[in-house]
Structure 1
């Protein structure tokens, strides 16, 4: 116990020796933050008092018990030093030049100096030393050792002493389980340290920390407040029940149906918040400005609550848009469904229209051009009426707007725009190129690959030439570039299939396959050919043909009489179905 008191006394003595510099007013010390000095008398700054009127320079700095001038001297850990020789600042207990040295966490280092061997050159007091071989403690250089350390300016041996904060404690008075809690040692098996606050004789197995406070194991720590063991949840420093409450921004506990509106807490099941104003409202209510309204019977128009379907205008007030309209601040009655405002007049938009600043015109024979009414047959260019006999309108381009130009010839009907405006030309014989040049039209040449062809009779499918194909009503099947007859064939992704379609000639005699096989004797069945279908589609072939169907009118084949023998021509994929229902004789 005596040894502990001795180390506490040493610690207090060092603290007082390194106390900061204070102001002195004549012979009285004072804090410049809370007081001021006026003509040798200390005054409090409370009540907004900030300065003195007609004062003399009675206020000086004091370093421990010694007054000094801050311009010519400075205070380093309770000792006054002269600023002569360029000395400007303190580093621990040493005065140094800021131009040549710098202070790094209480260690004085030379600026810009590099050490040629591993490590850096440092300054300890007035001596330069090698950090790889020596160490500095309280401005004194010592040989570096594994067990030698510095504790707030005190050199100690780590094998015999321990440094806690700024105090050195002998290990003989401690045991192996002792560690530091702030500036004091403690037994971590018998005591608890909470952010440098020591709680002696508190078993860590039963106690823990809540910030700087001690709490029993199993208790709840919310912020910096200890709560007894519970199933609640933290909200700031307090607890709440999640089943009936909720936490707002980890600050305030509210009920599940409560919410904040500005600075007011309200029940959202009964009321609603409109622009930080609490109003009555349920699920059928909406906000209109800072007020609420029932949307089943009311509407909101320009921040005002009106009857359902009505509108509101600052000059006209509330009105029914089905019967009235607000025309430039005047409430006007409608004479029909499509009557609306044209400036301050009500017009029928089925017949008339509004142009510019209230000019009424008939839509059947007039039009609006740049705010002016013109005849319907007249042309409008960039808001101006043009004379069709002598003028043309050059359309808008990427670089120019619509512009009126003069015709170069009376029969010119188009304009080729350019940066200078445009040029008129006859579109029957001339073309306007993208480079703004007017050139004579060339006769159109049709090429299939490198071969000329007539596009009215021949067919070109991806540079494949089919002579007379269009005359035979053929088309291209892409991407295979094959020609086919769509009446008897179908193109599916470049593949041709026979179209299952009953020719008009045989359709009137169509029968179902089951009935056909029961009442007839088949002599032969064979797969239908393109040639046979082509002949039937042109109205040729046997006169006795008839179409045979299966369920849902799906075509199976076409039958006909041949030398008193009945033959059935079936489509691809129908062979098995035909043999299943029909027996050939």
Structure 2
């Protein structure tokens, strides 16, 4: 859930997760991850369509362009920007509509002829919208390294760089080394030239039992970035030491107290002086009612709210055009389409409010699809016990889950339902129990 990369658009700098650059013009409030360009304007291709530089609101998910106009292939035929009406139960042969029970479409030249009249080459008329193309299995791709292909038997790819290799060649970032190289050490993705007997511990290079830092440690001290620290009184957050009186949990390189309502940690970014409705949206902060957060297992994106629009994973769609089922979009003609009832949220966004609820950490072991529900086999994981749960979830209205991932589940009148994004079983569960214990002690 990276916040995005800084890029240049004309004379302005922008972040790809918050804006889009189209031919030197910047459009704010829409992520480049889900936007296309129509001339100099960015747009959401789910709900709009660009035809020869003109932007239209989709009247249907199936509409296409015919030159500068938008049309529906089930009602019209288009060829070389010429549009004609398509009769019922007819196919298209270029811009001409024909009865497929009595005629055929020929090519060289493109024309409609009676079925008993041979033509040298049958054209492939557009497939009716009701019969989707058959799927073909994907072929095994070649091994790629950046823009080059290679044979893994002879070469090795390290972060986009290609090297000749032996069976003992290993990557360290974008460089290579072998066990025969006595004076090199790979530590935290960086290759160091060091004396013999050096060791990498916790991402730090130790030479002759001392940290490779600007300050030598005293007995009993640990390394934190370029300095040393005392772990009984301080906490190390991404190489930065902080006193525990300021908090005992890390948020990126900063420290914070999850029970402090004026702070919120969003995927490693710490926000202070929060508004009344502040919540995390990936590593961004959503603190206004006119915006909405849509999230999936791969992306989390903010959108400006619109009438009759809903989230489907990290996409924001018009419910009159699309139907969303378990974060998969499909075209629909129904006015009351199904949409997700809620989204999974980060664990830090749920505590301490969730501390007073009945919850469990459940690992998804397997899933099965019923007629209208998703049946999930859970292995319950917490500090005290391992047990099993079998839950029935509304398939379309419940966010997508991944096998092997652990989520926080809340007890409801219809059984447990997942409420958090995937958690790390050690650090996240420990944080949950610690913060909730502190919260209850403060209330008591």
Q: TM-score w.r.t. structure 1 length? A: 0.23
Structure label with greater radius of gyration: 1
Point out which structure has higher relative CO (alpha carbons under 8 A, 6+ apart). Answer: 2
TM-score by length of 2: 0.29
